[in-house]
């Protein structure tokens, strides 16, 4: 009796887990969405539309993106370095964010206010495929 209740509970928990995880991944497909409280960087223009969906979100500063890899659409590791590859950005983090050309927050840079989107960094000071550090002003 006790054993079967436990077994049933385990099955229910396992079912909940398998249902929730794929749903979260599908919703998050960062091509179209960036969660509140995060800054999302994309390897392609226009938030990767029509391109390989290499992306990553941040909740705090990162002074050197050379040790960060892009994520794939399903949150798996692309094993592809983020350094000098950012082409578009969405900011939902709650404050301004500055992208920097070089590690440790130096060189050319551009600042993006909360709730802003820029699908084309080639016409910003930071430029296309140059970002090497991200400064999140509120964290």
Residues that bind Ca ion (CB under 5 A): 62, 64, 67-68, 84, 101, 118, 120, 123-124, 130, 132
- Lookup: tokens for 103: 């590690």
The residue (of 6 and 60) whose beta carbon lies closer to Ca ion is: 60
50-54 contacts at long range (C-beta below 8 A, 24 or more positions apart)? 53/29, 54/78, 54/80, 54/85
Nearer to Ca ion, 4 or 123 (CB): 123
Residue nearest to Ca ion (CB): 132
Q: Which is nearer to Ca ion, 73 or 108 (CB)?
A: 108
List Cβ neighbours of 92 (8 Å cut-off, separation of 6 or more). 34, 35, 36, 37, 38, 39, 40, 114, 115
Least distance (Å) between residue 102 CB and Ca ion: 5
In whole angstroms, the minimum distance from the beta carbon of 119 to Ca ion comes to 7
| Closer by beta carbon to Ca ion, 18 or else 66 | 66
CB of 2 to Ca ion, least distance (A): 49
């Amino acid at each position: 009796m006790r054993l079967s209740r436990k077994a049933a509970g385990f099955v229910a928990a396992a079912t909940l887990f398998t249902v929730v995880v794929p749903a979260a991944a599908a919703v998050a497909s960062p091509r179209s969405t960036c969660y509140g409280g995060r800054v999302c960087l994309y390897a392609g223009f226009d938030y990767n539309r029509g391109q390989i969906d290499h992306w990553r979100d941040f909740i705090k500063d990162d002074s050197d993106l050379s040790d960060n890899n892009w994520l794939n659409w399903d949150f798996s590791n692309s094993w592809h370095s983020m350094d000098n590859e950012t082409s578009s950005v969405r900011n939902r983090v709650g404050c301004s964010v500055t992208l920097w050309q070089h590690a440790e927050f130096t060189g050319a840079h551009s600042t993006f206010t909360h709730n802003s989107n820029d699908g084309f960094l080639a016409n910003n000071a930071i430029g296309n495929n140059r970002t090497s550090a991200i400064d999140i002003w509120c964290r």
